[in-house]
Amino acid sequence: MTNSRTYVVGGRVITPYRILPRAGLVIDGSKIAALFSMDGFEMDPGAEIIDVNGAYIAPGFIDMHLHGGGGADVMDGTPESMTTIAECHAKGGATGIVPTTLTCPHQDLDSAIQAFERAPKTSSKGAKLLGLHLEGPYFSQSQRGAQDPEYIRNPVPEEYLPILDSSQSIVRVSAAPELPGALDLGRELRRRGILASIGHTDATYDDVVTAVEAGYTHMTHLYSGMSSVRRTRAYRVAGAVEAGLLMDDLTVEIIADGKHLPASLLKLIYKAKGPGRIALCSDALRASGMPQGECILGSVSNGQRAIVDDGVAWLPDRTAFAGSVATANWLVRNMIQLAGAAVADAVRMASLTPARILGIDASKGSLDVGKDADIVVFDDDINVKMTIVEGNTVYRNL
């Protein structure tokens, strides 16, 4: 698709709040020029027309937390891996992704940041690279999950300020706010306009309240690597999970791959937070889009072994999940089938809500005139038929 006027027609157009039957839209260059009903609408003669034959026409999915796909990982430290990951997730309907690092040696983190800087942010077959997410190393050891314990530590300005200064592409940092120095980190992230996210944390409810006051506004994969109710001298004390569910000022993300969270918890989160405060994320590893078997979590040289089995990645001893192998369309499908979400709500959690959390909703996240033409076409089973990024078709299976 070039910068000519293009019509995507004959579908069900999804807005954040409803579905328009027998409708379509106009793409002019990289932008959405119009939405229309098929009844009586006249198209420009000679324009390209894409008939989706009754499929859904939705805003492109935004995956704000993933590590890899297609056999590549962010921690490979190469621009080529970033492109491979973007191409893998475009096949699942993602038009924008936020590649994510792991707790690792400093030189590996620096290599990943530099690789992101050098990587093309758009490609002919992939999702757009929206920015970089630093997941760690400032985490609780007791809630580390698959994060390497050797490199977990407390935040100190002498370390994190040079890291933040090294790249304008860092859009998000996850940390455990109960650690010494973590509140100052949150304030610094807020000052820079970087999303401060609570993750891999053993915080109490009161710790989270203090963190929100210091600038933390989001929760990294709710329930996963996160404290819940505990007893202290016989008294029950609410944890980070309960804070995330209760506090309206906090947005949350969930790994809705059908493995990390059962249907009951997906329903609870959906009921408690609503589609305007939930972002669906894959937390996908390099094994996404690849056959089951062994894979490496993180860099090939310093990463950890993981095993992909039954549609999810495990640590070798199977004591914890290492991450998912999902793509964004899986997440949407599961919210519909497991959580009972309406289609428009499920799509909103994968598009407009993450766009708002990332602060890019002025141009992305919904099918609106003047916004970027980021579009995904999928069938009733949420199988992706076409992915369009800023007016360019990067994947097509119509």
The architecture in CATH of the region 5-58+368-396 reads Roll (2.30)
Condensed to tens digits (0 to 9), the pLDDT of residues 211-239 reads 999 999 999 999 999 999 999 999 999 99
| pLDDT at res. 146 | 84
Q: Which two tokens stand for residue 169?
A: 């592409």
For residues 315-331, one letter each, b for 16 or more C-beta atoms within 10 angstroms of the residue's C-beta and e for the rest, the string is: beeeeebbbbbbbbbbb
283 is catalytic: yes
pLDDT of residue 3: 43
Q: Are 261 and 44 in contact (CB under 8 A)?
A: no
Q: Give the largest CA-CA distance in the chain.
A: 76
Question: Rounded to an integer, what distance in angstroms lies between the CA atom of residue 313 and that of residue 249?
Answer: 32
Catalytic member of 76, 257, 283, 374 = 283
Distance CA 180, CA 154 (A): 6
Residues near 258 by beta carbon (within 8 Å), at least 6 away in sequence: 311, 330, 334, 338
pLDDT digits (tens, 9 = 90+) for 349-387: 999 999 999 999 999 999 999 999 999 999 999 999 999
Q: Are 95 and 62 in contact (CB under 8 A)?
A: yes
31-48 confidence digits (pLDDT tens): 999 999 998 788 888 899
The mean pLDDT of 117-145, rounded to a whole number, is: 96
* Per-domain residue ranges of the chain: 5-58+368-396, 61-358
Contact 58/367 with Cβ under 8 angstroms?
yes
What's the pLDDT at 137? 97
User: Mean pLDDT over all residues of the chain?
Assistant: 95
Percent of the chain residues topping a pLDDT of 70: 99
pLDDT at 2: 45
Q: How confident is the model at residue 1 (pLDDT cuts 50, 70, 90)?
A: very low
**Dihedral sign (CA 307, 319, 264, 64):** negative
- The answer to whether 9 and 51 have CB atoms below 8 angstroms apart is yes
- pLDDT tens digits along 237-291: 999 999 999 999 999 999 999 999 999 999 999 999 999 999 999 999 999 999 9
What is the reported pTM?
0.96
Question: What gap in Å lies between CA 253 and CA 221, rounded to an integer?
Answer: 5
pLDDT score at 181: 98
CA atoms within 13 A on the CB side of 176: 28
Query: pLDDT (tens digit, 9 = 90+) per residue, 61-92?
Result: 999 999 999 999 999 999 999 999 999 999 99
| pLDDT at res. 13 | 98
Residue type at position 44: D
Per-residue model confidence as pLDDT tens digits over 302-321: 788 899 998 999 988 888 88
Beta partners for residue 64, in sequence order:
none
CATH class of the 61-358 domain in this structure: alpha beta
Looking at the predicted structure, is the pLDDT value of residue 4 above 80? no
Whether the per-residue pLDDT at 155 is higher than 70: the answer is yes
Go through the chain and tell me how many residues it has.
398
> What DSSP string describes 358-385?
HT-TTTSSS--TTSB--EEEE-TT--EE
- β-partners of residue 278 are 252
Q: Tell me, what's the pLDDT at 42?
A: 84
